[in-house]
């Protein structure tokens, strides 16, 4: 760990705090906890995080005290560096194995790191001693997000209603996710997917967990760990037009014909909304939260006004939300009903185009809707398979709140650190 500490100090001296944090990741569960705490304290002092610095300072000297380890781990989770919380919380739980508080915080840290298989195993190891709320709920959650739908489906009926009403929305959300996932698996089987709900079924899992239809799969980097997602995307008019074609297929397959396209404020939103209106043959109107029977078009909801986005969570009757580029590493506050693609970073094709929005929208509508051929390594994603899947899940589509889902689920993809 000495070399790692030297690297942390060097990066801190260069004011490269993200680099310093990344340099600790490989050592987070192998280095002595005291050394991790020293490195974390140095980072916290530089960042001005007094709570984290104080907790790390205590952990350096009290590595055998569960409270000090818990405080250190908790502060790491709260400051968004959950990977540094796992080792101290695991040690604290070893010292106090019956602590529900320590168990819950360790599960939280593992969830933040999307290590759902480990979280589920940790909870399942308690056997019949595992309380219903929130522990068994968390077991179902992590089992599902780890990709074990059969076990999650078996566990859900035995989970009683929570005594604390604050857990009621979580229980309802979980029940919807399990039900949708079962419907999604059946639809993928009917659509001829080679491995429905397997570790590469991005479209199936995306619908099950978020309730949204994923219009396209990235044709690049499939064999390099992307599995249908993009990391960095330099977008094109043609990609936008292909997404609108898939959106049209989804609406047709589901028997939906909205009366208009609602234009959200924002240049990218208006451009894509105007293009959607032209492609679908619908009038374009300004967005209004209570407008029914409409298609709301967004380019990237993470760039939209947060207060406006929150108005989209509770579903207005007949309202359909479409987002072109959905961020899968830092998802927006709501899950769109339709997403053209999943990416980490996106550059709109009109970023340097200063022409009027209407002109750019006409170019998008007139672009070639054919899919990008990609690098030749991705499996085929024909219109017929997408149409069949959309038709298969149509009875449950557009039937629930647009809950945010922070985890990418059981389908892994490579990402920028």
Assigned CATH topology for domain 2-113: 1.25.40
In whole angstroms, give the CA distance from residue 163 to residue 414. 40
In whole angstroms, give the CA distance from residue 121 to residue 90. 13
Mean pLDDT of the chain: 96
Is a pLDDT exceeding 80 seen at residue 225?
yes
Residue 8 confidence (pLDDT): 81
Class for the domain spanning 199-393 = alpha beta
Is a pLDDT exceeding 60 seen at residue 226?
yes
In whole angstroms, give the CA distance from residue 212 to residue 215. 9
Phi, psi of 289 (to 5 degrees): -55, -35
Residue 1 confidence (pLDDT): 57
Rounded percentage of the chain residues whose pLDDT exceeds 70: 99
In whole angstroms, give the CA distance from residue 284 to residue 263. 7
Residue 258 confidence (pLDDT): 98
Band of residue 2 on the pLDDT scale cut at 50, 70, 90? low
Is a pLDDT exceeding 70 seen at residue 7?
yes
Q: What is the model's pTM?
A: 0.95
The average pLDDT across 23-51 equals 94
* Range in 17-21, 85-89, 199-203 with the lowest mean pLDDT: 17-21
The closest of 85, 91, 81, 56 to 73, measured between CA atoms, is 85
In whole angstroms, give the CA distance from residue 109 to residue 115. 9
Residue 236 confidence (pLDDT): 98
Tokens of 155: 């566990």
Query: Residue ranges per domain, the chain?
Result: 2-113, 199-393
The average pLDDT across 273-302 equals 97
Residue pair 8/23 in contact by the 8 Å Cβ criterion: yes
Tokens of 329: 């590493």
- 149-199 confidence digits (pLDDT tens): 999 999 999 999 999 999 999 999 999 999 999 999 999 999 999 999 999
Is a pLDDT exceeding 80 seen at residue 3?
no
The closest of 90, 89, 85 to 40, measured between CA atoms, is 85
Is a pLDDT exceeding 90 seen at residue 311?
yes
Residue 202 confidence (pLDDT): 98
- Cβ contacts of 117 within 8 Å, gap of 6 or more: 142, 146
The closest of 309, 269, 267 to 289, measured between CA atoms, is 309
Cα dist from 177 to 96, 187, 193, 321, 349, whole Å: 33, 15, 20, 19, 34
């Amino acid at each position: 760990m000495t070399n790692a500490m030297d690297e942390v100090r060097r990066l801190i001296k260069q004011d490269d705090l993200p680099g310093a944090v990344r340099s600790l990741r490989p050592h987070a569960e192998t280095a002595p906890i005291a050394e991790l705490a020293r490195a974390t304290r140095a980072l916290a002092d530089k960042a001005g995080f007094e709570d984290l610095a104080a907790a790390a300072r205590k952990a350096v000297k009290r590595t055998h005290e569960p409270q000090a380890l818990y405080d250190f781990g908790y502060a790491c989770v709260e400051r968004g560096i959950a990977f540094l919380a796992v080792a101290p919380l695991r040690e604290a739980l070893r010292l106090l194995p019956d602590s529900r508080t320590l168990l819950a915080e360790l599960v939280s840290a593992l969830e933040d790191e999307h290590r759902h298989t480990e979280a589920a195993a940790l909870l399942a190891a308690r056997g019949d001693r595992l309380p219903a709320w929130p522990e068994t709920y968390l077991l179902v959650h992590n089992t599902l997000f780890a990709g074990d739908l059969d076990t999650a489906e078996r566990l859900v009926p035995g989970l009683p209603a929570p005594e604390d009403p604050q857990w009621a929305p979580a229980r309802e959300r979980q029940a919807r996710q399990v039900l949708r996932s079962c419907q999604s698996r059946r639809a993928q089987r009917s659509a001829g997917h080679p491995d429905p709900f397997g570790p590469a079924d991005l479209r199936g899992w995306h619908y099950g967990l978020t309730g949204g239809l994923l219009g396209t799969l990235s044709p690049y980097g499939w064999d390099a760990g992307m599995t249908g997602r993009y990391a960095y995307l330099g977008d094109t008019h043609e990609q936008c037009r292909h997404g609108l074609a898939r959106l049209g297929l989804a609406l047709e397959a589901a028997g939906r014909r909205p009366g208009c396209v609602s234009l959200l404020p924002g240049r990218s939103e208006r451009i894509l909304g105007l293009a959607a209106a032209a492609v679908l043959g619908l009038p374009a109107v300004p967005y209004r939260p209570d407008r029914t029977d409409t298609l709301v078009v967004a380019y990237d909801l993470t760039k939209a006004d947060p207060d406006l986005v929150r108005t989209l969570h509770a579903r207005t009757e007949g309202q359909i939300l479409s987002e072109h580029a959905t961020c899968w590493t830092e998802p927006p506050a709501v899950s769109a009903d339709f997403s053209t693609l999943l990416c980490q970073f996106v550059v709109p094709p009109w970023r340097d185009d200063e022409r009027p929005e209407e002109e750019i929208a006409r170019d998008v509508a007139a672009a070639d809707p054919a899919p990008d051929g990609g690098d030749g390594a991705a499996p085929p994603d024909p219109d017929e398979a997408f149409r069949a899947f959309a038709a298969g899940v149509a009875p449950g589509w557009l039937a629930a709140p647009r809950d945010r889902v922070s985890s990418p689920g059981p389908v892994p993809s490579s990402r920028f650190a």
